[in-house]
Amino acid sequence: MNDQHWGPSISADIVVIGGGTAGIGFVASLLKRDPALNITVIEPSAQHYYQPAWTLVGGGAYDVKDTVRPMSKVMPRQATWIQAAVTGIDPDTRQLTLNDQRTVTYQNLIVCPGLRLAWEKIEGLQESLGQHGVTSNYSYQHAQYTWDQVQKLRGGKALFTQPAMPIKCAGAPQKALYLSCDHWRKNAALNNINVEFNLAGAALFGVATFVPPLMKYIEKYNAQLAFNSNLVKVDGPAKTAWFEVKDADGNVTREAKTFDLLHVVPPQVSPDFIAQSPLADAAGWCEVNPHSLQHPRYPEVFGLGDICGTTNAKTAAAVRKQVVVVAENLLALRKHQPLPLKYDGYGSCPLTVEKGKVILAEFGYGGKLLPTFALDATVPRRSAWFLKATLLPWFYWNGMLKGREWLTGLSKVD
CA distances (Å), 250 to each of 201, 231, 245, 246, in order?
12, 17, 9, 6
- Residue 78's CB is within 10 A of a number of other CB atoms, namely 15
What residue type is 323 in one-letter code? V
For the chain, report the end-to-end CA distance as a whole number of angstroms.
Answer: 40
Whether 349 sits among the annotated catalytic residues: the reply is yes
Q: What is the CA radius of gyration of the chain?
A: 22
Catalytic residue among 112, 286, 308, 349: 349
Residue by residue, DSSP assigns 86-152 as EEEEETTTTEEEETTS-EEE-SEEEE----EE-GGGSBTHHHHTTBTTEE-TT-TTTHHHHHHHHHH
Cβ distance 186 to 60 under 8 Å? no
Residue 91: closest CA among 310, 304, 327, 301: 301
CA dist 14 and 413 (Å) reads 24
Hey, what amino acid is at 64?
A: V
Q: What is the enclosing helix (H) or strand (E) of 303?
A: strand 301-303
Contact status, residue 140 vs residue 149, Cβ threshold 8 Å: no
The number of residues in the chain equals 414
Q: Which residues contact 110 (CB under 8 A, 6 or more apart)?
A: 14, 15, 16, 17, 23, 26, 301, 302, 303, 304, 326, 330
Please identify which of the residues 112, 169, 286, 308 carries the catalytic annotation.
Answer: 169
Concatenating the DSSP letter of every residue in 244-276 gives EEE-TTS-EEEEEEE-SEEE----EE--HHHHT
> Could you tell me which residues are beta bridge partners of residue 328?
none
DSSP secondary structure of 18-54:
--SHHHHHHHHHHHHH-TT--EEEE---SEEE-GGGH
On whether the CB atoms of residues 23 and 44 are closer than 8 A, the answer is: no
Catalytic residue IDs: 169, 349
